[in-house]
Amino acid sequence: FDRHELLIYEEVARMPPFRRKTLVLIGAQGVGRRSLKNKLIMSDQARYGTTIPYTSRKPKESERDGQGYRFVSRGEMEADIKAGRYLEHGEYEGNLYGTRIDSIRAVVEAGKIAVPPAQAVKVLRTAEFVPYVVFIEAP
């Protein structure tokens, strides 16, 4: 999932049960992470939630801010990226896209388990988020 850093060993420790704040689904491209994530969230919307990605692109006629995307200016997004406010970000066709850290916090504060993008696992591996990471193997 990340072509630049290959994590070949992950420390495993037995821990007492506790409520997880984040669930991260990882696996090879095309294995069905997004479909599984969507089914999980739809099956129990009171328990699981996801973030709304931010973008610097202009909204299409049928789009509304906060429904599918949060629309911000490129300058605002670049400043927030430099300030370290994004878990992950990238550029596609001249527009920036990304997931803000505070959007994960908002899901958790709403009493739900956040299911963020797989790329976020490197940033979420902290005492604040304690992600439960599930590897999805290809059939």
- Give the residue extent of every domain in the chain: 23-136
The 8-class DSSP code of residue 21 comes to S
d(CA 134, CA 125): 13
pLDDT for the residue 1: 45
pTM of the model: 0.75
Mean pLDDT of the chain: 87
pLDDT in tens, 78-103: 999 999 999 889 999 999 999 999 99
Specify the CATH number for 23-136; select among 3.40.605.10, 1.10.10.60, 3.40.630.20, 3.40.50.300.
3.40.50.300
Which residues have C-beta within 8 Å of that of residue 86, sequence separation ≥ 6?
Answer: 54, 80, 98, 99, 100, 101
pLDDT in tens, 104-131: 999 999 999 999 888 888 888 888 888 8
CB neighbourhood size of 9 (10 A): 5
